Amino acid sequence: MRLSKLLPFTLATAFCLHLQAQNPPDLPFEPDATSAASTRAGQIEAARKAKAASIPPVKPHVVMEKGESAVTKGFNIWNFTQVGTHGLSLKLGGLAIGSGLGFGPEYVLKRGELYNPRLVWDSYAIGSFQGYYRLQSALEFPRLLRDRGFFSITALRFDYPRLAYYGPGPDSRITGYSDYRMQDNDLEIRGGFRPWNKSFRVGLVGGFQGVTIGPGTRPGYAHTDELYPVTQARGDDRAATFLSGGFFLQFDTRDSSGDPHAGTYLFAQFQNVNGSRRSLGGFNQYDFDAQHYFHYWNKRRVIATRIKATLTTPHPGTFVPFYLEPRLGGSDDLRGFRPYRFYDQNAVVATAEYRWTAVEALDMALFADAGKVYHDSDTLSLSHFQSDIGVGFRFKSRDSVPVRLDIGVSREGVQIWLNFYNVF
């Protein structure tokens, strides 16, 4: 090869070798400031991930872990035995307020679809260590006449040995406590139809009630007929029988009757109640119940509102027996007051609750109750209106609330209620 041709090739090769010496093989060029910053951020992120991977996950304490597992299993068992199934199970609650823990066997028989049956037979026997008991059997046909009609018959017997009575009217005093015993044999027949859609119901109701009133069994306290002689004339220890009949209207758009988060519920019922003899009394009774549920955040926040009233008007020349009068106080209405704290011929109560989902199986609630009993329209006023506030815990299972704990505070102190059904 001629020297004139070899010289340019030699110079080019030398220049390339010089560049290779200035730049390592893994860095073929000098990065600019932006590229350097990106590489540094990537190195920091990689170091952070490596450190996080090296840290072992935090495990809950063994007691907490086992406790959570036990609660989960318990609710699974409750789901299986209580929600939508049939057969033998354990029933909790269902006695008078203040009776202590009631429990006993329950048997449910269903025919047709499990969650939409054509026949339901539900029977149970429950009692408490304080001597209260209740026996009940109900037969229901919820889908008659091409799902337009329904019919049910319920028979029950209970014995409540200590029911509180503080005297009549809204100004009764807590120091006026007395107790009485009430034994009852009851039969109710209810039937009707859905004239337009499944949300609306109209029907008839009739019943028989055999009541025996006697002295309470709580030692050291006055019996009701001793402390309030007027009650003896209006409900002595002889058996009293009552016949009743009337009609009802119901409108229900709630998304779930056991644990509603949306919708409206309206109920109105009229009954004419007559004692088997004039000395037992007779009256008309009007029951009203209105509920509405405001929800947001995908139904995980709910404002539940309710107004409920029971009004009675005695027949001319007669009266309402004190043990059949409407009453307020306890776990279902004025939750800051003792059970059956107020009695009179009429009662009205309003409740508002703010409910939110704390965890998947637990809802919490802040509530306020306000209500009053009164004798007649002439005594209806805002005076002696009772109120309370409180906090609640609702342990959930599918579309129901099998366990509810409420703590209510009023001018008469603090009341704690454990129940096995939702308040509304």
Which tokens hold the place of 9?
């090739």
pLDDT at position 389, please?
98
373 Cβ contact list (under 8 Å, min separation 6): 169, 170, 326, 327, 328, 342, 343, 344, 345, 346, 347
pLDDT at 167 > cutoff 50: yes
- Give the tens place of pLDDT for each residue, 83-141: 446 789 999 999 999 899 999 999 999 998 878 899 999 999 999 999 999 999 999 99
324 Cβ contact list (under 8 Å, min separation 6): 211, 242, 273, 281
**How many Cα atoms occupy the beta-carbon half-sphere of 230 within 13 Å?**
8
**258 φ/ψ sector (left φ>0, alpha ψ -120 to 50, else beta):** alpha
- Give the tens place of pLDDT for each residue, 353-403: 999 999 888 999 999 999 999 998 877 887 889 999 999 999 988 788 999
Q: What is the dihedral of CA 349, 269, 274, 186, to 10 degrees?
A: -90
- For the residues 253-270, what does the mean pLDDT come to? 96
pTM of the model: 0.79
pLDDT band at 239 (very low <50, low <70, confident <90, very high): confident
pLDDT at position 150, please?
97
Comparing C-alpha atoms, which of 347, 280, 287, 281 is closest to residue 314?
Answer: 281
Separation of alpha carbons 22 and 30, rounded Å: 10
What single DSSP character describes residue 223?
Answer: B
Separation of alpha carbons 169 and 46, rounded Å: 75
- Give the tens place of pLDDT for each residue, 271-283: 999 998 777 889 9
- For the residues 243-254, what does the mean pLDDT come to? 97
Separation of alpha carbons 231 and 227, rounded Å: 9
Which tokens hold the place of 313?
């008007």
Separation of alpha carbons 203 and 246, rounded Å: 9
pLDDT at 219 > cutoff 60: yes
351 vs 248, 268, 371, CA distance in Å? 23, 18, 9
Separation of alpha carbons 155 and 142, rounded Å: 17
Comparing C-alpha atoms, which of 173, 159, 165, 175 is closest to residue 96?
Answer: 159
pLDDT at 78 > cutoff 90: no
pLDDT at position 74, please?
54
Separation of alpha carbons 137 and 159, rounded Å: 16
- For the residues 173-177, what does the mean pLDDT come to? 94
